[in-house]
Structure 1
Amino acid sequence: MGSRTPGYEDHRNHDGPSEANGGVQDGGKPRGTHMSQDGDGCLGAGGDDEDGDGENDFNGQEASLRLANATLSADAEGAQKKRKKSKKKKRSATVPLKQSSPPRVLLDNLYPSGDYPEGEVQAYTKVKTAAAEALYEARQYTKDEEFLQNYRQAAEVHRQTRKWVQETVKPGQTLLSIAEGIEDSVRALLGHLGLETGDSLKAGMGFPTGLCLNHQTAHYTPNPGQKDVILQQQDVMKVDYGVHINGWIVDSAFTMSFDPTYDNLLAAVKDATNTGIKTAGIDVRICDVSAAIQEAMESYEVEIRGKTFPVKPVRNITAHDIKHYRIHGGKSIPFVKNSDQTKMEEGEVFAIETFGTTGRGILRDEDGVYGYGLNYDAPSAVSIPLASGRRLLRTIKDNFGTIVFCRRYLERLGVERYLAGMNSLISNDIVDSYQPLADIPGSYTAQFEHTLLLHETHKEIFSRGEDY
């Protein structure tokens, strides 16, 4: 999910058997007999031994005791084995080892150990400095196993879902059916359907599924009341969706086309994204990442119906860092050269994405609403005049928090007649509204995106897959 460039805001235990209480069997002496042979409990002189030292008696009694103990142990062991054999074995449930299509097998069943695949590891191109080491001490959560498994599980959900999308989505389908298929898959794999209060805050969609066609570039999702949009053979479709577990969001996107005409456009943007990922690292300045992205993208051109177009980076939308329950953390990475000396730091999570276009490279707001998000800086106590607004705010806090959501998600929860309340929350700066963004009509845009973590010695691209 792209972040708007600040400069273009206007575009917006089992026990063993016990011993018997009586005597031993098979010729052994009763327990304690040797004690009665001598008043002090020792086997002393006074036996039939002519030497008077009692050695033969002692050896004979000791051998008898060993025989008795061995017999008891063997009998007990045999009884234990008989008891074990008599138990009936429980039949274990058969767990599928492969994902279904569409994806509906709970991910926990595919990974019963709880260890999810590690993302792609890339070595840094620069050695980290002492300053970066100091910053790392403040980000110990990146070594926390739960944190890493949350991210890796979310990334695996994203990979399995997009594999299904890439194999099954074809022209003729509605964008609504595609979006709902993606979201149903994500929720099924996570085991969180999001219908109970607070369930979506535990795990679910990181933001609404974006499905943008052609010149539409970012932040479009089908909503209730809109006319169905049918995917066509000549369309270029950006597929952008997020998966979160306990507020840690994997943000990844890809572009689909069914006409080889647009292959070079897709190749340009994929190369630019991979270049940005390769350049990123601890102490790397944002301006250096941006310059590398621009250089890679502008080395491509695409011929569409006899006319050649240079592939341009989009200027007023950016890559971004990700924070807990916050898709845009505050740092932005443009796709064009700039003078931003801000450094990427150890422990940070970034969504490295790029957008390329055959159009102007400046996006404008389109009609409609993509989604809503609770304002991070909204005051805790605000007077909301409408009762519907107050009820809606409670629903948002209980089910989404600061996760971006859309109208389809509200209606899925059974919320009705919420538009007036929503407008009240927006006008009081409690909720932010997001509009679709597009380049000029007739142009084509593409997007590729991955989420990565800057470890101490390497970067891990969580969402990397066999596809891209």
Structure 2
Amino acid sequence: FRYQDLYSISRSKLLARQDMSSVEVEERAEELSEKLTTNEDEPDAQNENGSPLTKNQKKKAKKKAAAARKAAEAETSSECLMEGNQAALENAPKSDGKKKKKGGKQAQQTDPPSVPVRDLFSNGKFPEGEWMSYNDDQRWRETNEEKREKQRLEESIINEVRQAAEVHRQVRKYMQEKVIRPGILMTELCETLENTVRNLIDERGLEAGIAFPTGCSLDWVAAHWTPNSGDKTVLSYDNVMKLDFGTQINGRIIDSAFTWAPNPKFSPLLAAVKDATNTGIREAGIDVRLCDIGAAIEEVMTSYEVELNGKTYTVKPVRNLNGHSVAPYQIHAGKSVPIVKGGEATKMEEGEFFAIETFGSTGKGFVHEDLECSHYMKNFDVGHVPLRMANAKRLLATIDRNFGTLAFCRRYLDRLGETKYLMALKNLVENGVVDQYPPLCDVKSSYVAQFEHTLYLHPTRKEVLSRGDDY
């Protein structure tokens, strides 16, 4: 085994390392070669007595030389490897003791959140909501093979709405932890929330985006209030704010809401409404009558009392506000879920989406339209309506292109560059093409709280899609 051969082997092994300079490689290769070189690379041509080797002796000698060559190469490789491993250990960053997951590095959400949710789940499967069994008379569905197969077939549709739900969870977590605070302008609060939704859902026109304007109704205003451009309303410590916003993927809508009220005096009010909403969710199910859900909600909510400024109030359900079924691009799809007894006997059906929401009030428990309107929505059932006003035609084209039958507000039109559109918008309302939804208010000086979740009635069980760690 020649010195030069050993030198070449040593040098090639060392060059594979990243931690040695070219000079160090040459020196170390020479050192290893000298160490491992034996007397000669060829077997002796003669015996000890000087006589020539026989044919068999030559074969044995060659085998011995080949074995020595392999051993030398292995030893050289081993020494190089040991040195390389030692250098790698010295240069490597310290381990935190946790096992690393196989596969590529998983994308992480930024702070503030800006990475689209679909990039955080490389396998394309989004987190499931909370699974709940149906009531006893429907338990057979969980083990029925036909129902289970039907549930598997609808997985792609449900995965879309789960993506919208995950966006909702991440956005509201950010808002609760970093944005909502006394002293913030309501316009800033809404625009921060809406821009975060646009980023996390990777807004793509009607394919993915905001499902309806951000409701941030305060105190006795129960629903449908969002600031118009230029509004100077500021959030205060003693406000009771209902933050109601929606996300959608291909028209599959997540409608979910919670109440922010940092003053602990409002805690019983919030607890009553949260408990009532969860009661409605528990009672919901295939073949359940909507009126039965309303009766259960009312019973729970009215069992709570709240003391404000020395006066005790029974928490009242707002009887003319309801939960509702949800369909693609249609936030109110026809069925209403009452929050008081005495509603319709219509039943829930397999394959339906419902927004279960409850409102509890210290006032009359009845709302009326008041204040300046901000919410609008194209009539879902309207056909072609001849419009004479050119500006109304142009505005309708903008609405069709950007919102379709999803709700919108004035700020959204401002963002699209629309100006001087109020007369055109009024014309669309008067012609029945667009419906307006003014704020809904209880009596002044009262307080209204709200909690809401979207659920889906699978063939086997129900899934509370928007459920999170917060509510």
TM-score band w.r.t. shorter chain = 0.7 to 0.9
1:98 deviates by 3.3
How far off its partner does 1:100 sit? 2.4
Cα–Cα, structure 1 residues 187 and 339, in superposed 2: closer, same or farther, change >3 Å?
closer
Change over 3 Å in CA distance of 1:143–1:351 after alignment to 2: farther
**Equivalence map 1:226-245=2 (5 Å):** 226=231, 228-245=232-249
Q: Equivalent of 1:219, from 224, 227, 245?
A: 224
TM-aligned CA deviation for residue 305 of structure 1: 1.6
Answering whether residue 108 of structure 2 is matched by residue 108 of structure 1, we say no
Q: Is residue 419 from structure 1 mapped to residue 422 from structure 2 by the alignment?
A: yes
Q: TM-score normalized by structure 2?
A: 0.74
Contact 2:118–2:163 (CA under 8 A) maintained in structure 1: no
Measure, in 1, the Cα distance between the counterparts of 2:338 and 2:355. Answer: 12
Deviations 1:316-365 (A, max 9, x none): 11000001100000000111101421000000000000000000001011
What root-mean-square deviation, in Å, do the aligned CA atoms of Structure 1 and Structure 2 show?
2.1
Deviations along 1:403-454, one digit per CA (max 9) or x if unpaired, are 0001111111111221111111111101101100111111111000000000
SS across alignment from 1:390: helix
Displacement of 1:372 in angstroms is: 1.0
State the partner residue of 2:438.
Answer: 435
- 2:49 is matched with none
The CA distance in 2 between the partners of 1:122 and 1:390, in whole Å, is 47
* 2:211 partner letter: G
Report how many residues are paired.
Answer: 363
- SS class of match (2:387): coil
Q: CA deviation at 1:140?
A: 6.5
Q: Does 1:356 align with 2:360?
A: yes
Q: 1:142·1:148 contact (CA, 8 Å) conserved in 2?
A: no
1:183 counterpart (194, 219, 233): 194
**Partners in 2 of 1:95 and 1:287 — Cα distance?**
50
2:455 matches 1:445 = no
1:390 to 390, 393, 396: 393
Paired letter, 1:234:
D
Counterparts of residues 58-207 of structure 1 (less than 5 Å):
97-128=107-138, 143-168=153-178, 169-192=180-203, 199-207=204-212
Cα 1:442–1:95 shift into 2, 3 Å: farther
What displacement does 1:166 show? 1.0
**What is the one-letter code of the residue matched to 1:367?**
L
8 Å Cα contact 2:285-2:348 kept in structure 1: yes
- CA 1:269–1:143: 2 relative to 1, 3 Å: farther
Give ranges in structure 2 of 5+ residues lacking alignment: 1-103
- Displacement after TM superposition at 1:215 (Å): 0.7
Structure 2 CA distance for aligned equivalents of residues 95 and 307 of structure 1:
57
**AA at the equivalent of 2:301:** M
Could you tell me which residue of structure 2 aligns to residue 286 of structure 1? 290
Counterpart AA for 1:320: H
Aligned amino acid, residue 435 of structure 2: D
Aligned residue for 1:314? 318
Matched, 1:346 2:356: no
3-state SS of paired residue (2:158): helix
Partner secondary structure for residue 350 of structure 2 = coil
**Who is 1:253 aligned against?**
257
Residue of 458, 464, 469 corresponding to 1:466? 469
- Partner of 1:103, secondary structure, is coil
C-alpha deviation, 1:313, in angstroms: 0.2
| Offset, 1:143 | 3.6
Could you say which residue in structure 2 is the equivalent of 1:400?
403
TM-score with structure 1 length normalisation?
Answer: 0.75
CA 1:315/1:339 → structure 2, altered by over 3 Å: closer, same or farther?
Answer: closer
- 1:386–1:421 contact (8 Å) kept in structure 2: yes
Query: What does residue 302 of structure 1 align with?
Result: 306
Whole-angstrom CA distance in 2 between matches of 1:243 and 1:416: 26
> Structure 1 residues 407-416 or 344-353, which shifts more?
407-416
Matched, 1:333 2:325: no
Q: Give CA deviations for 1:75-110 in whole Å, capped at 9, x if unaligned.
A: xxxxxxxxxxxxxxxxxxx96743223221111221
Q: Give per-residue Cα distances to partners, 1:238-294, cap 9 Å, x unaligned.
A: 100000000000000000111100000000000000000000000000011000100
Q: Distance in 2 between matches of 1:167 and 1:461?
A: 23
2:317 touches 2:365 (CA, 8 Å); kept in 1? Answer: yes
Q: Is the 8 A contact 2:272 2:360 kept in 1?
A: yes
Equivalents in 2 of 1:142, 1:154: separation in Å? 20
Could you tell me how far 1:309 is from its partner in structure 2?
A: 0.6
Alpha-carbon distance in structure 2 between the residues aligned to 1:219 and 1:141: 35
Displacement of 1:191:
1.2
Match of 1:366 in 2: 370
Q: Compute the displacement of 1:128 (Å).
A: 3.8
1:382-417 deviation digits (Å, cap 9, x = unpaired): 221110001111111111110000111111111122
Q: Distance in 2 between matches of 1:278 and 1:344?
A: 13
Q: Distance in 1 between matches of 2:363 and 2:446?
A: 5
CA distance in 1 between partners of 2:263 and 2:418 (Å): 41
Distance 1:240 1:390 in 2: 31
1:224 deviation in Å? 1.5
Deviation sequence 1:130-166 (CA, Å, 0-9, x none): 99xxxx99x9798423211111000000000000111
Residue 310 (structure 1) shift: 0.5
Say if 1:142 and 1:453 are closer, same or farther in 2 by CA, change over 3 A.
farther
**Alignment check: 8 A CA contact 1:255 1:448 kept:** yes
Matching residue's letter, 2:378: L
CA–CA separation in structure 2 for the residues paired with 1:310 and 1:129: 36
The 1:142–1:432 alpha-carbon spacing in structure 2 relative to 1, beyond 3 Å, is farther
> Does the Cα contact within 8 Å between 1:142 and 1:347 map onto a contact in 2?
no
Which range is displaced more, 207-216 or 416-425? 416-425
- Structure 1 counterpart of 2:280, from 276, 280, 293: 276
